[in-house]
Amino acid sequence: MSKTSQDKILAEIFSAAGRHIIGKEQPPKFSGDAKQIKIVEDATAASRRLYEALCDNNVSIEAVTVMIENKKHAAAAFEQYFGRPWLL
């Protein structure tokens, strides 16, 4: 089964975002219209903040709970705009 153009682009987005979330590279430079970029950057940033908090023993459960909610909202915005779930 061949991937559509959008599937290939989303795979590249998830790959670059994933590497950034776990600290393997600097924030990726996404291209597209301003709304697309903001949605992807917001989802990536929310995922990274949550990942960093989960790796930090000094972060309270209350703070993690807020970050989970923020990530859920960013993921929902991504899915609403792109029609695909935020996998990270």
> Could you give the percent of the chain with pLDDT greater than 70?
97
**CA-based nearest residue to 88, from 28, 18, 37:** 18
C-alpha Rg value of the chain to the nearest Å: 14
Q: Is residue 53 part of a domain?
A: yes
In the block, tokens 């807020």 appear at 66
Asked, for residue 13, whether it belongs to a domain, the answer is no
In a domain, 57, yes or no: yes
pTM across the whole model: 0.89
Q: Residue 38's domain spans which residues?
A: 33-88
Q: How many domains does the chain have?
A: 1
Examine residue 11 and state whether it is found in any structural domain, yes or no.
no
pLDDT tens track for 23-60:
998 888 888 899 999 999 999 999 999 999 999 999 99
pLDDT at 2 over 80: no
